[in-house]
């Protein structure tokens, strides 16, 4: 099974994008659009205090009649976050994401924020690993590469 740490090691870019709790929703959306991400971490004094996602925007700005220019992130961010440890497996991540209906999980290592994984990251890695296993089994059955 692949761990979160292994996934992070496989990725070419582990950049975490973050905003301040006092930044406007609009500024956060600009960053998300520029970096092509669906969520940003909300960080204050080096500590994660929340997460802001596209879902937060849709449900807490648009549907509640607020404006993204005037609303600070701290008013609508998700504060009660589920986090993962870098030694957890991707299957455990997928289980948490399904249970809590999250698409992003912050990664904590030794009490420190070290990254974030998305459902796409997790699903892509699991599918790739399973495809490798299928390819290896097919090669073994067909005798290709055997004894070389």
**78 lies in some domain:** yes
Residues 76-115 pLDDT 10s = 999 988 999 999 999 999 999 999 999 999 999 888 888 9
Q: Per mean pLDDT, which range of 9-23, 34-48, 84-98 is the poorest?
A: 9-23
Q: Which strand (E) or helix (H) includes residue 126? A: helix 119-142
The model's confidence at residue 146, banded by pLDDT at 50, 70 and 90, is low
The helices-and-strands tally (H runs, E runs) of the chain is 5, 6
**55 lies in some domain:** yes
**67 lies in some domain:** yes
How many structural domains comprise the chain?
A: 1
Strands (E), 1-148: 18-19, 39-44, 47-53, 84-85, 104-109, 112-118
Which candidate, 40, 6, 55, places its Cα nearest to that of 116?
40
The model's confidence at residue 21, banded by pLDDT at 50, 70 and 90, is very high
Q: What is the CATH number of the domain that holds 88?
A: 3.10.580.10
DSSP string, 25-47: HHHHHHHHHHHT-SEEEEEETTE
Domain span at residue 115? 4-142
Average per-residue pLDDT for the chain:
89
The model's confidence at residue 145, banded by pLDDT at 50, 70 and 90, is low
- Across 62-66, 92-96, 126-130, the highest mean pLDDT is recorded for 92-96
**148 lies in some domain:** no
Per-residue confidence (pLDDT) for residue 147, from 0 to 100: 52
**147 lies in some domain:** no
What pTM, to 2 d.p., does this model score? 0.80
**97 lies in some domain:** yes
Which candidate, 124, 57, 55, 63, places its Cα nearest to that of 94?
124
**57 lies in some domain:** yes
């Amino acid at each position: 099974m692949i761990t979160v740490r292994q996934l992070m090691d496989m990725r070419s870019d582990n950049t975490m994008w973050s905003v301040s709790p006092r930044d406007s929703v609009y500024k956060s959306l600009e960053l998300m659009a520029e970096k092509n991400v669906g969520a940003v971490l909300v960080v204050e004094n080096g500590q994660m205090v929340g997460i802001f996602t596209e879902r937060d925007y849709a449900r807490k700005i648009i549907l509640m009649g607020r404006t993204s220019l005037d609303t600070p992130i701290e008013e609508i961010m998700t504060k009660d976050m589920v986090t993962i440890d870098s030694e957890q497996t991707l299957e455990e991540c997928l289980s948490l994401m399904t249970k809590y209906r999250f698409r992003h999980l912050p990664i904590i290592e030794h009490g420190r924020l070290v990254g974030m994984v998305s459902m796409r990251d997790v699903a892509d890695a699991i599918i790739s690993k399973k495809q490798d296993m299928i390819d290896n089994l097919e090669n073994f059955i067909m005798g290709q590469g055997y004894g070389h």
